[in-house]
Amino acid sequence: MKNLILFLGMAFLLSVFNGCATNQPPGETKEFLATTDSDVKVVEIRDKFYPDASYLAATPIKKENPLFGPTIMIEPRYYLAPQGGFYVLRYFYIGETWGFFDEMILLIGQSPYSATPVVEPSREVIYGGQVMEDVLFRVPTDVFEKILQQREIEVRVAGRMKYDYKLESGSIAILRILREKAQQRDSNYHP
């Protein structure tokens, strides 16, 4: 029975991750802005109830879905605004214990940059006693540009627990595509 529950839980997580940038809550519309040979997608999400909350979401730059241990995803976003948008790294976590993640440290070259949540993180208990945390970390444009100059960066997500990740050239290439689409979209911004 325990194996069946574990199998069903993993199947659910795979379905969530396979459609993360394309899932669409009611009231939202999406428009694919880019699909490259490397299967990088950039989607514009617009919510008819909150037109100022539109954003671009790119293919996740980091996904881990091990058989045992926490499931994580780091998804880059660009939020559109009339006076200029801003970049966000979304950290999505499912595990057995609360992380209470409240800081993302980006090691860019030898310089650390600390990002804090843009809004209150979303935290809830889901199936089988698992917990889910969804945190949006704002990354200023100048810091984002520094990331794009690197071959790889190290990332630490910290709170009650901490996890370290390495973002390599493929992840940074996704960030470059997001920046390109964000620059194109910002020049045409009309809510």
> Model-level pTM greater than 0.85?
no
Res. 14: pLDDT tops 60: no
- Using the predicted structure, report yes or no on whether residue 131 has a pLDDT greater than 90: yes
Residue 52 has what pLDDT? Answer: 67
- What is the greatest pairwise CA distance in the chain? 55
pLDDT at 67: 73
pLDDT single digits (tens) 37-60: 457 788 888 877 766 668 888 888
The three-state DSSP-derived secondary structure of 88-116 is EEEEEEEECCCCCCCEEEEEECCEEEEEC
Give the three-class secondary structure for 54.
Answer: strand
Pairing outcome for strands 153-158 and 162-167? antiparallel
